[in-house]
Amino acid sequence: MVDLVIKGARVLSPANEMDMVTDISIVGTRIHRVGPLEQGETAKEEIDGKGYILSPGFIDFHVHGFAYFTDYGTYPDDVGVRSGVTTVVDQGSAGYLTFPAFHEFMVKSSATRVLSYLNIGAVGTIKGSMLPALHGPETVDVGAVVETIAKYPHIIKGIKTHAEMGGVARWGFDVLAKAKEAAKRANVPCYVHTGRLIPCEGFSLPDPDSIVPGALEYLEPGDILTHCFTGHPGGIVKTTGEVHKTVRRAISDGLLLDVGYGEHFSFDIAQKVLDQGIMPDLVSSDVHALFNQPHSLQATYGLFSALSHLLALGIPLSDLIAMVTDHPARILGWDEELGRIEAGYQADLTLFRIESGSFLFRDRFGVSVPASLRLEPKLTIRQGVPYWAPVIKEAEV
Ligand SMILES: [Zn+2]
């Protein structure tokens, strides 16, 4: 007797090049079989997947999942299992001083698997998070960061830091240098915010085209630049519209790019980057709750919006699914447990559909792109347990 069978969905698992209509059965927390039940075998629960796509559980590499703590923190489950996502990576809500609270109140109490990239700053993005005093090099204690990562190695998978106009205007690359020092000592990657972040009034602004090349002096293969399609100055695209040569070189050496969608995503920049033959490695949402309403459930966008927008730009569906399943699983070092549909893998699955219609997707920079397809979550299965009906009905940004 198996616990659960999902029947007749199109099973799409790019990691093992699977794309076929079949049944998937689950026993306990693991995938039992790819294919129909054997004769005489029965299932305790059956889900009809006809007309839907079943993929490995989506991994959202960039959320803000510390409710009530930041200006824009969500509950991980609202952007996790209730939104078609089985694993979320919180990017820098907590620093070493505040991580124990994050662990107690968010990680332990969520049905979603919650991981963290620890903020290099002492407190993380506490409410009032853009207060520059909280983000300068004087708040960084490399030893304490390394110790905290060593204490929670199963949860903390990297270090969140920034390389952007405001921070560089104030402190040069001092914070990034310390983040990299901590990352090397802890043997984890850095995840680096590019584009606008910290206010820089009263400081002379650096040349936006100097930011990313300057940051690359510190970074190594395996580190991740996020907001690779940012419409704000100081990203991977020069003011001339060309991707920095140093970025191209770093990518061929193993530097990774994440979309980090949300407030930063620009259709124009995305098109420019894609036209120059550069694809992101990861798609993440950078989902925030409504600003100043940390308890609100009403996030108006998420990972599915990000994927729909990128589908509208012509990135093939199976590539997009790889960017939220196989690729993040590899980066987390969990590709033998997560990120593909195969017997023995964890039963973390996302059931979704592609809705046809006439949609107009907007970015934060006033650009609209018409689209005829949109991805919509139906069901999330996390270690064998199904979660129906997303609480969050996503709207186009
Ligand atoms: Zn973010």
Give the pLDDT score at 389: 55
Clarify whether residues 143 and 269 are in a common domain.
Answer: yes
Give the pLDDT score at 296: 46
170 domain-assigned:
yes
Q: State pTM to two decimals.
A: 0.95
Contact 278, 251 (CB under 8 A): yes
State which residues of the chain have pLDDT below 70. Answer: 128-129, 290-300, 389-397
Separation of CA 333 and ligand 1 centre (Å): 22
Q: Is 64 annotated as a binding residue?
A: yes
393 domain-assigned:
no
- H or E element that contains 215: helix 208-216
Helix axes 174-186, 142-151, angle to 10 degrees: 40
Separation of CA 91 and ligand 1 centre (Å): 6
Clarify whether residues 20 and 121 are in a common domain.
Answer: no
Separation of CA 360 and ligand 1 centre (Å): 24
Separation of CA 308 and ligand 1 centre (Å): 19
Q: Is 227 annotated as a binding residue?
A: yes
Give the pLDDT score at 29: 98
395 domain-assigned:
no
300 domain-assigned:
yes
CA dihedral 34, 35, 39, 41 (to 10 degrees): 40
For position 227, which CATH number holds? 3.20.20.140
Clarify whether residues 170 and 150 are in a common domain.
Answer: yes
Of 331, 353, 379, the residue that ends a domain is 331
pLDDT per position as a tens digit, 338-374: 999 999 999 999 999 999 999 999 998 999 999 999 9
Clarify whether residues 365 and 324 are in a common domain.
Answer: no
Clarify whether residues 314 and 376 are in a common domain.
Answer: no
Give the pLDDT score at 291: 52
Of 306, 331, 356, the residue that ends a domain is 331
397 domain-assigned:
no
Clarify whether residues 26 and 46 are in a common domain.
Answer: yes
173 domain-assigned:
yes
Separation of CA 227 and ligand 1 centre (Å): 9
Number of domains within the chain: 2
* E strand intervals along the chain: 2-13, 18-27, 30-34, 43-48, 53-56, 58-63, 85-91, 113-119, 156-162, 190-193, 224-226, 256-257, 349-362, 368-382, 385-388
Separation of CA 15 and ligand 1 centre (Å): 27
Separation of CA 286 and ligand 1 centre (Å): 5
Non-local (6+) Cβ contacts of 211 within 8 A are: 163, 164, 165, 168, 194, 234, 235
Q: Is 160 annotated as a binding residue?
A: yes
Clarify whether residues 151 and 272 are in a common domain.
Answer: yes
Separation of CA 279 and ligand 1 centre (Å): 20
Separation of CA 63 and ligand 1 centre (Å): 6
Separation of CA 38 and ligand 1 centre (Å): 46
Q: Is 286 annotated as a binding residue?
A: yes
Separation of CA 53 and ligand 1 centre (Å): 28
Clarify whether residues 23 and 122 are in a common domain.
Answer: no
38-71: buried (b, 16+ CB within 10 Å) or exposed (e) per residue? eeeeebeeebebeebbbbbbbbbbbbbbbbebbb
Separation of CA 9 and ligand 1 centre (Å): 33
Separation of CA 96 and ligand 1 centre (Å): 18
pLDDT per position as a tens digit, 208-252: 999 999 999 999 999 999 999 999 999 999 999 999 999 999 999
Give the pLDDT score at 397: 35
Which domain covers residue 252, as residue numbers?
58-331
Contact 113, 90 (CB under 8 A): no
Clarify whether residues 120 and 161 are in a common domain.
Answer: yes
Clarify whether residues 352 and 368 are in a common domain.
Answer: yes
